[in-house]
Structure 1
Amino acid sequence: MTTTTPAATAVQRYLEAWNATDPAERRAAIEAAFAADARYVDPLADVTGTDALDALIAGVHEQFPGMRFTPVGDVDAHHDVCRFRWGLGPEGAEPLVIGFDVATVGPDGRITGVQGFLDKVPAGA
């Protein structure tokens, strides 16, 4: 039997938001995964709120068309904080980009903040 933790559910929703390419589906996924005033920060971005997250994710899809975000390993969590690795690449292939994120999850299960780190980035990205 597999049990799903609140942190694992939050990360699953997070990846669904990053993988949504249709604008309406992406917006719904963002609103399901993130609090309205969530902040996302990594070496390339620092945005707050669902509008800014939507624009950021749309930009990633423009830069990496047809690529998908997938989990790399398990979600580790305690209290309201979780950490996880992800990969971005063609489905079923070695990821071109690998990252490590730390997210804070609010009482409603939505992410309130993400601190992202990029472990592997292709040249010119």
Structure 2
Amino acid sequence: MAPLQTSHAVHLAKCNLLSIFNERDATKRKQAMAESYATEMQMYEPDKVITGHDEISSTAGALLDAHPDWNFAPAGEVFVNHQIVTLNWTFGPVKGGDVFLVGEEGKIEKLWVMIEGVTSVRL
């Protein structure tokens, strides 16, 4: 498989963070998921694995509902290495990052959520 084009990696990172996890309208969120996520998408949170667009959309919606004054914002650059993409973010006072795997169809297949203080370890 050829390495992922940088422009596509940036598009997917922005879509995942801003059009999916920052989107409070469930219909718009699911439209963005159809564009960017594989059908059997899996999201790895620190305490569970969530599978499929419906479950991930519900998780994102519940998170946004629990924090109505918070928004996700990119924090730094998008990193790309072959099919792996990372982007750090903030959500209110919370810092974290996403690591995702892009499949052959050019869509995100797996997403790992990293959260400062939860999945981080000091050196």
For the superposition of Structure 1 and Structure 2, which TM-score range results when normalised by the shorter chain?
A: 0.7 to 0.9
Of 55, 58, 64, the match for 1:55 = 58
Distance 1:6 1:65 in 2: 30
CA offsets, 1:87-125, max 9 Å, x none? Answer: 112xxxxxx11112210012333211011110157xxxx
TM-score (norm 2): 0.83
Of 96, 101, 105, the match for 1:104 = 101
Query: Which residue of structure 1 aligns with residue 11 of structure 2?
Result: 9
Identity of aligned residues (%): 26
Instruction: Give the unaligned 5+ runs of structure 1.
Output: 90-95
Instruction: Give the unaligned 5+ runs of structure 2.
Output: 1-5, 119-123
Q: What RMSD over aligned residues (CA atoms) do the two structures have, in Å?
A: 1.8
TM-score (norm 1): 0.81
Contact 1:76 1:82 survives alignment (8 Å): yes
**Residue 25 (1) aligns with residue 28 (2):** yes
Query: Which residue of structure 2 aligns with residue 87 of structure 1?
Result: 90
Q: What count of residue pairs does the alignment treat as equivalent?
A: 113
Distance 2:10 2:105 in 1: 14
4-13 or 46-55: bigger deviation:
4-13
**Residue 113 (1) aligns with residue 110 (2):** yes
Distance 2:69 2:39 in 1: 27
Query: Which residue of structure 1 aligns with residue 81 of structure 2?
Result: 78
Distance 2:47 2:95 in 1: 14
